[in-house]
Amino acid sequence: MPTALTHAVLGAGAAAVFALRMRRVKPCTVLGLGAIAGASPDIDFVSFITGIPYEHALGHRGITHSVAATVAVAALIAAVVHARSRTHRVDRPFRPIGRDAVWLWAGLTVAGVVHALADMLTDGGLGIAIFAPFSWKRYFLPVTPIPVSPLWLSAETARVIGWEVLHLWPPAAAAIAIVFILRRRCETGH
């Protein structure tokens, strides 16, 4: 898997694209929530601590990496943020209502799916149960250029992070930069 930090960066970049469709949501809010949604599938690291076998449905890269779980987590985050925003003053910068809430959910869903796809590009592990709970088969993509990250900090982790910063972060950074540039132009009318 890419490191949790890279999953957060990729999630922020993926969700950022959806910020352009939202009128009342600040891009920074979308980036933060996208980072959370992008890293959230790795909550299954708890399986290593609790002794759940890797290949188990609740093991690493199991149900939490599926599209179904990603959709559910994105809906939960969007619903919590929406409910919380309704209890705050109207002039708060974030009040996802109607269409904005749907775009937020879509952006967070894509952020989580990007996590699974990035893991499917790695050169290690048992694959991703992307279609769980409908199929427990685990998949990789046909090419696996991303070095798998060690679960614990080590010298190898530093090498992998360096590789990720050079190869995976630039597209996410470009998406984020484009969103901020376009959003600023829309707000200033240029």
76-130 pLDDT, tens digit per residue, is 998 887 777 666 554 555 555 678 888 999 999 999 999 999 999 999 899 999 9
Q: What is the model's pLDDT at position 190?
A: 57
**Separation of alpha carbons 58 and 61, rounded Å:** 8
The confidence score (pLDDT) of residue 109 equals 97
Q: Return the CA Rg of the chain.
A: 17
What does the pLDDT read at residue 128? 97
The domain locations on the chain are 4-188
What is the CB neighbour count within 10 angstroms for residue 37? Answer: 32
Q: How confident is the model at residue 73 (pLDDT cuts 50, 70, 90)?
A: very high
DSSP state of 25: S
Would you say residue 22 has pLDDT above 70?
yes
- Please give the DSSP secondary-structure letter assigned to residue 146: B
Predicted structure pTM score: 0.86
Rounded mean pLDDT, 162-183: 90
Share the mean pLDDT of the chain.
87
Contact criterion met (CB below 8 Å) for 27 and 183: yes
